[in-house]
Structures are given as C-alpha cells and as structure tokens.
Amino acid sequence: MANSKSTQPNSLATEGRNIASFLRKRHQTECGTFNADIENVTVFDPKKPLGVWTRLGFLAHQIAIGNADKNGCGLRSVDRRRMAEAKWFYENRAEALAFNKASKKGFSNLSALQKAVNASKKRTEKAETTEGEQSDVGQTTEGTSSEAKSSKAKPQLSTPKEVVEAIKVTCNRSGIDLSEVLELLMDEVTSSAKETTKGSFAVIGKTIVTDSKTGTDDVPF
C-alpha cells in the first residue's frame, strides 16, 4: 500500500512525460555530437574533436588500399566494426550526408545511418525491378492480344475449297449474288490468260513470231 500513490494514472503519465522529454533532449544532444563527428576536416585534433568518423574512415580507407596498416596507424585498439562503419561513411560520404540531412529526426550514430541508407537502397532497387517486370508483362500481354485479334480478324485460307467457302459466306452476309461474283472471276481468269499468251506462245517446242508489218505469224524452221 505504501507504493499505491506512485502507481496512480496521473503519476504514471507524469513520469512518462518526463522520460520522453529526457530522451528527446538526449537524442538531440547525440545528434549534435554525431553531426560534429561527421564534419569534413583535414586532420583530427583532440583539442577540438571534430570529424572523428570522417578521419577514421580516411585512415581505414588508406589501410584497405594498402597505403598503411592498422598497427602503423595506431588503430590496433579500435574495434573492427567501428573501422568498417567509418570506412563505409568515408567512401559514401556525399550520399550519407544527404540522407542524414533529409531525415526528419536525424541520426545519432553511424550504425543507424548506415543501416537506414542500405535499407533505402534495397527498397529502391526492388521497386525498380518490380516496375520493370510489370512493364515487360504488359508489353508481352499487349503483343499477344494484338496477335490474337489479328489472327481472328484475318483467317488464313490454305486450299481452293476454303477460298470458295469464304466467298460464299461473304456473299450471303453482304447480300451479293454469287453468280455475279463467279462472272467477275471468270473475266479475271480470261484476262489473265490473254496477258499470258500475248506476243508469243510455244508450238511443238518452237515459238511463233508475229510479224508486226504483215500481221501474219511466221514459224521459223
């Protein structure tokens, strides 16, 4: 019963607000410290400790490309995970700074910033891949539908009988007399035959030559 007053709703709400306020202020302080840690400086000065992650990243990069070693740089006691994070930041500094600036709340440490940047990249890549796949599917479906429609609209006729049947169906649908169509076809056949035999034709393996002056046909022997 001695603690009953401290667990009342009003007391809990007050305590919760106090904690939230403290965490918010501490986060702001940590973000300020982190922003100082990622400043771009040419050398780290312990008297004015700015750009610690930038300079550590620079040294880690130099070690990675073989210009130095961890012991030679005096970094033997630095955790390898901190080295890796700093190296990532140095090599992706412009992107990381832009991401940090665009964040509403900001970041208080390098680990969280790196994780957020990588997650954002994965989401973007996944979205682009999905969009590309949907575009390909749409094009394929559209092409298939067009081909199907074209195939239905223009059936392929492979035999003379199929052509005759198609003509009969068309005549019935259009109310055209089939005999008139047949007459036109016969005229086309006769005209084609005349064009084929015009000028010369074969007689027992020889060619009859028409004399343009006399109008007679001469058969050379």
Distances (CA, A) of 206 to 31, 59, 201, 203: 106, 100, 8, 5
Checking if the pLDDT of 176 tops 90, the result is no
Q: What are phi and psi of 200, to 5 degrees?
A: -160, 155
Our measurement of the distance from residue 136's CA atom to the centroid of its chain's CA atoms, rounded to an integer in Å, reads 9
Q: Are the beta carbons of 79 and 87 closer than 8 angstroms?
A: no
Centroid of chain to Cα 38: 34
- Cite the DSSP H helix spans in the chain: 9-37, 52-64, 80-91, 93-102, 110-153, 160-174, 178-197
Residue 33 has pLDDT above 50, yes or no: yes
**pTM value surpassing 0.75:** no
Q: Are 13 and 87 in contact (CB under 8 A)?
A: no
Cβ–Cβ < 8 Å for 86, 70: no
pLDDT at 138: 58
Q: Which residue has the tokens 């986060």?
A: 27
According to the model, what pLDDT value does residue 133 have? Answer: 76
Instruction: Inform me whether the pLDDT recorded for 211 exceeds 70.
Output: no
Identify the top-confidence range among 47-61, 174-188, 191-205.
47-61
Torsion of CA 101, 103, 105, 108, to 10 degrees: -70
> How sure is the predictor about 201, in pLDDT bands with cuts at 50, 70 and 90?
very low
Name the residue with higher pLDDT: 190 or 124. 124
pLDDT-based confidence at 57, cuts 50/70/90?
A: very high
Instruction: Tell me the pLDDT tens digit for each residue of 80-128.
Output: 999 999 999 999 999 999 999 999 888 999 999 999 999 999 999 999 8
Q: Using CA atoms, how far apart are residues 88 and 118, in angstroms rounded to an integer?
A: 11
Length of the chain as a residue count: 221
